[in-house]
Amino acid sequence: MKTPSTSLCVFMVGLLTLSCFAHDPPRAVQRAEPPGATYEGRAFHFYKIREDVFHAVGTGELDVICNSTIIINEHDVLIVDSHVTPAAAWALQKELKLITSKPIRYVVNTHYHYDHAHGNQTFGPAVEIIGHEFTRQAMMAGKSASGLAYDRMTCGIPARIDGLAKQLETTADVNQRLKIEKQLRIAENFKRAAASVDAKAPTTTFRKQLVLHRGSREIRLLFLGRGHTGGDVVVHLPRERLLITGDLLLAGPSYMGNAFVLEWADTLQRLKSLDFDTILPGHGMAFEDRHRIDHIQAYLRDLWPKVAALHAQGVPVNKAATTISMYEHAEHFGSSIPRHGIDVHAIQRIYELLDSGYKHKAAKLTP
Quick one: pLDDT band at residue 1, thresholds 50, 70, 90?
Answer: very low
Is the pTM higher than 0.85? The answer reads yes
Distance CA 337, CA 330 (A): 5
Q: Are 350 and 304 in contact (CB under 8 A)?
A: yes
3-state secondary structure 291-332: HHHHHHHHHHHHHHHHHHHHHHCCCCHHHHHHHCCCHHHHHH
Spatial CA neighbour of 277 closest among 237, 221, 325, 229? 237
Distance CA 100, CA 27 (A): 13
Q: Are 118 and 197 in contact (CB under 8 A)?
A: yes
b/e code 83-114 from CB counts within 10 Å (16+ = b):
bbbbbbbbbbbebbeeebebbbbbbbbbbbbb
Give the bridge partners for 258, in sequence order. none
235: enclosing H helix or E strand: strand 234-237
Q: What percent of the chain clears pLDDT 90, i.e. is strictly above it?
A: 88
CB atoms within 10 A of CB 301: 14
Between the two ends of the chain, the Cα-to-Cα distance in Å is 30
Give the bridge partners for 55, in sequence order. 47, 69
Q: Which amino acid is at 64?
A: V
Q: What is the pLDDT of residues 136-195, one digit of tens each?
A: 999 999 999 999 999 999 999 999 999 999 999 999 999 999 999 999 999 999 999 999
Q: What is the pLDDT of residues 69-128, one digit of tens each?
A: 999 999 999 999 999 999 999 999 999 999 999 999 999 999 999 999 999 999 999 999
DSSP state of 1: -
CATH architecture of the domain with range 1-242+269-291: 4-Layer Sandwich (3.60)
Would you mind telling me the total number of residues written for the chain in this entry? Answer: 367
Q: Are 255 and 247 in contact (CB under 8 A)?
A: yes
314 Rama sector, left if φ>0, alpha if ψ -120 to 50, beta otherwise: left
- For the chain, the domains span 1-242+269-291
